[in-house]
Each structure stands twice: as C-alpha cells, then as structure tokens.
Amino acid sequence: MAERPEDLNLPNAVITRIIKEAVSSSGRRMGQGRTGGQRGKQVLGQQLYSPTLFSQLPDGVNISKEARSAISRAASVFVLYATSCANNFAMKGKRKTLNASDVLSAMEEMEFQRFVTPLKEALEAYRREQKGKKEASEQKKKDKDKKTDAEEQDKSRDEDNDEDEERLEEEEQNEEEEVDN
Amino acid sequence: MADAVAGRDKCGEPRLVSLPLSRIRVIMKSSPEVSSINQEALVLTTKATELFVQYLATYSYRHGSGKERKALTYSDLSNTAEESETFQFLADILPKKILASKYLKMLKEKRDEDEEENDSDDGSNGDEAES
C-alpha cells in the first residue's frame, strides 16, 4: 500500500524521456502511414518496428513543464484504471491474481486496442528474456556443480548430497526474490 | 522488439521497459480490491503506461493548437480529455483552466439560478400552505 500520496507519482525524468522518445524516434520508427504526412525519415537498413508508435511528434517540440506533470498524473490514473479493469476480468475468471491476459483484455475494454499488438510483442520479448535468464542460470549451476564435484571428489557421498540440497534451497529463495522485484 | 525501448540496464542490454516496475506495482496495489499481481501483468501494465504516455502526448499535439509554435501545452491535454472519448477518464485530473473572473461570474450565475429556484420553491410552498 502507498503511504504517501507522492508514492503514486511516476518519476518525471523517465516520463519526460518517454515523451521525448516519441519525439526523437521519428527517424527510427515508422508510423505505418497512419500519421498522414508526419511520417519521419526512414533510415534504410534498420528494422522497421511494428506499430509500437502510431504517430510521432516532430523533432524539437517544446513540452511545457505543466504539460509534463499533467501527463505524469494522467499516467498514474491510467495505471489505476487499467488495474481496475484487469481486476474485473480476473474476478470474472474467479482468479485472485492479475495475469497478462487480464491486462490485455483491459486494454480492449478501455478502447486502447491499438496497444494490444505492441503489448503482445513486449510480452513475447519478456518471456524470451526470462527463458534466456533461466537457461543462463541453469548453465551456471551446471558449471558450478562440475567444479565443486571435482574439488570434493575425496569427500564422502553424504556430504555432497547435503550440499546439493542446500544449493537447491538457495535457488528457490533467489527465484522468490526475482518475482518480488 | 526489445530495443524498441531505449534505456539500457547495467549490462548495456536494451531494456524492455523504462518506468520503474516497483513504482507501478505500488500504484496497482493501492487499488483496494487487488490482491496480487503476476509479474507478466506488471510488465505489461508498465509497458502499456509507456505507450499511453506517448499516445496522449502525440494525440494532444496533433489535435492541439500549438503546431505552428511547436509546443505542447496543458490546454492541449485538457482539450483531449474533454473531447476524446478514449481519454474521457482523464477529465477529472486534467480540468480545463478558466480565468478566475470567469469562474466568479459562473459562480454568481449559479447562485442567481439557485435563488430563483428557491424563490419558486418558496412560492409553490406558499401556494400549498394557502390551499
């Protein structure tokens, strides 16, 4: 739970950067023709991203301080609104935990259908990333096992087993921490 | 896709989201009916918020008045909240600005109206009492 009202604010610096990204990325990303003339210069040889951005601000647009803080507040409200919508879907499904499909359904409900495709892509990327991390840590563990096995060849079998168990426990804890973060 | 979002983590790898997940989680959890949030849902909500910020900014700019001056102002945003169906939910936190003098005038008009209503109420009450 949030204890102070400012806990519900998002960092202005990041918000500003995200808005500016929409400004400066006009060269990198293409508006898929939806922008009607505002399409940025397309850089050859660079991958064209799917409609992550629907339209871009031209370079050098000045965003007043007041507008920036208003956008920041709007973002907080958006999170609450999305959470509430997603929670309705979770409740309909008699689940207590919000999951990815609840958030996607919420976007459609909120008339932000245009976010669904980029979000699905982000979700896939996130899953790939997690999978990669898991494989990397498993590989690490294997290497570690080999090393310790070599070192403890002369030790008794029982001790080895004990240590393995400890290591497993440690890993479980690590996983829990990852989820918390 | 991952490098569609600028901002890099410690290892120099492109990050999926720029906004802090922990803060988004705090905001989500501040909703009383929410009990727990799965990590994927958190990442998606964070990503959606970033898309939303960009969409709100570009939409307001395109429909706004500052195109010649290359400026995005508060009034562009509050106009968006008022006029666009999709952004309607922002109307409360992005209220239209009005001049204090105009507000006082509105207040006075409102008071006059109320008084008139009260007068007519009194009148009708009086009638009832008489009859």
What ipTM describes this predicted complex? 0.74
Q: How many angstroms separate the CA atoms of B73 and A71, rounded?
A: 10
Residue A28 belongs to a domain: no
**Residue A42 banded pLDDT, cuts 50, 70, 90:** very low
Helix (H) or strand (E) holding A172: helix A157-180
Whether the per-residue pLDDT at A46 is higher than 80: the answer is: no
Instruction: Decide if A33 is inside a domain.
Output: no
Q: Is B49 on the interface with A (CB under 8 A)?
A: yes
pLDDT of residue B4: 38
Q: Are strands A97-98 and B36-37 parallel, antiparallel or unpaired?
A: parallel
**Residue ranges making up the domain that contains A96:** 1-23+64-111
Q: Which of residues 130-159 of A touch B (CB under 8 A)?
A: none
Residues A85 and A99 reside in one and the same domain: yes
Domain final position from A84, A111, A138: A111
pLDDT attached to residue A124: 95
Indicate if A150 and A83 belong to the same structural domain. Answer: no
Identify which of A69, A30, A98, A49 has the alpha carbon closest to the alpha carbon of residue B25: A98
Q: Test B47 with A74 for CB contact under 8 angstroms.
A: no
Q: Which pLDDT belongs to residue A2?
A: 55
Q: Tell me what pLDDT residue A18 has.
A: 86
Task: List the domain range (segments joined by +) for residue B116.
Answer: 98-131
**Given an 8 Å threshold on Cβ–Cβ distance, is A63 in contact with B21?**
no
CB < 8 Å to B65, chain A = none
Residues B23 and B44 in one domain: yes
Count CB-CB contacts under 10 A for residue B82: 14
**Helical (H) or strand (E) element with B36:** strand B36-37
How does residue A61 score in pLDDT terms, banded at 50, 70 and 90? Answer: confident
End-to-end CA distance of chain B: 79
- The reported pLDDT for the residue numbered A165 is 54
Same-domain check for residues B102 and B90: no
**DSSP E strand stretches across A51-161:** 62-63, 97-98
Residue A6: pLDDT band with limits 50, 70, 90: confident
In the predicted structure, residue B83 carries a pLDDT above the cut 80:
yes
Same domain? For A96 and A76 the reply is yes
- The model's pTM is 0.69
Q: Using the beta-carbon criterion (under 8 Å), do A124 and B76 form an inter-chain contact?
A: no
Helix (H) or strand (E) holding B71: strand B71-72
Q: Are residues B77 and B40 in the same domain?
A: yes
Q: Evaluate whether B46 touches A14 at the Cβ level (below 8 Å).
A: no
How many domains does chain B fold into? 2
Mean pLDDT calculated for residue range B44-73:
91
pLDDT band at residue A99 using 50, 70 and 90 as cut-offs: very high
Percentage of residues of chain A with pLDDT beyond 90:
41
Higher pLDDT, residue A163 or B71? B71
Query: Which among B43, B77, B86 has CB closest to A71?
Result: B77
CA distance linking residue A98 with residue A8, whole number of Å = 19
Q: Which residues 78-107 on chain B approach chain A with CB closer than 8 angstroms?
A: 78, 81, 85-86, 89-90, 93-94
Interchain proximity B1–A119, CB inside 8 Å: no
Domain count, chain A: 2
Q: What is the DSSP-derived secondary structure letter of residue B70?
A: T
Q: Does B119 share its domain with B89?
A: no
Note whether B103 and B72 are same-domain residues.
no
Question: pLDDT: is A74 or B7 the higher one?
Answer: A74
The confidence score (pLDDT) of residue A41 equals: 38
Is A167 a residue whose pLDDT tops 60? Answer: no
The answer to whether A54 contacts chain B (CB < 8 Å) is yes
Read off the pLDDT of each residue in A98-106 and give the average, rounded to a whole number: 96
The torsion angles phi and psi of A62, rounded to 5 degrees, stand at -90, 125
Residues B85 and B127 in one domain: no
Q: Is B40 on the interface with A (CB under 8 A)?
A: yes
CB-CB neighbours of B47 under 10 Å: 26
pLDDT at residue A22 tops 90: no
Residue A13 lies in a domain: yes
Residue A75 sits in the same domain as residue A143: no
Q: What share of chain B is helix, strand, coil (3-state, %, to 5)?
A: 60, 5, 35
| Model confidence band, residue A100 (pLDDT cutoffs 50, 70, 90) | very high
Residue B60 has pLDDT above 90, yes or no: yes
Q: Which residue has the tokens 């290591």?
A: A167
Residues of A with Cβ-Cβ distance to B25 under 8 angstroms: none
Judgement on whether residues A76 and A93 belong to the same structural domain of the protein? yes
Residue B77 clears pLDDT 80, i.e. is over it? yes
